[in-house]
Amino acid sequence: MYKGTTPTIILTLPDDIDLGEASNVYVSFATRGGKELIRMTGTDISIDENVISVFLSQEETLKLPEWVTIQVNWTYAEGTTTKRAATKKCTIRVENNIINEVLA
């Protein structure tokens, strides 16, 4: 991925994860050290069974460091208890663009 571009990040979760019962789903982008930079939820993300699509704007990708960690968290009800689960973290490289600014 290049800074300043508008990618749609596609996250394919393992088949044993069913988000159909999820109350809320969150996709977080963080530094390798764990500082959260961007959090997407609700209408910010698209879910189709175990595939999550996340669109990033030019402004958002320009904020990202060279290496970014992505993780999905979700909440769900088990009886009257709210439970929370998370995926493993994945790390991707974000390369500098020759034009590192928002283009109209």
Q: Are strands 22-30 and 36-41 parallel, antiparallel or unpaired?
A: antiparallel
pLDDT at 18: 87
Which range, of 5-9, 20-24, 81-85, averages the lowest pLDDT?
20-24
CA dihedral sign of residues 74, 75, 79, 81: positive
Mean pLDDT of 86-94: 97
Most confidently modeled of 14-18, 19-23, 94-98? 94-98
Give pTM, 2 decimals: 0.92
Average confidence score pLDDT of the chain: 96
Q: 50: which 2 tokens?
A: 């175990």
The Cβ-side half-sphere exposure at 77, using a 13 Å CA radius, reads 3
Query: Tens digit of pLDDT for each residue in 17-53?
Result: 989 989 999 999 999 999 999 999 999 999 999 999 9
The residues with which 28 forms a beta bridge, in sequence order, are 39, 71
Residues 85-90, mean pLDDT to the nearest whole number: 96
Please give the Cα distance from 88 to 96 (Å, whole number): 26
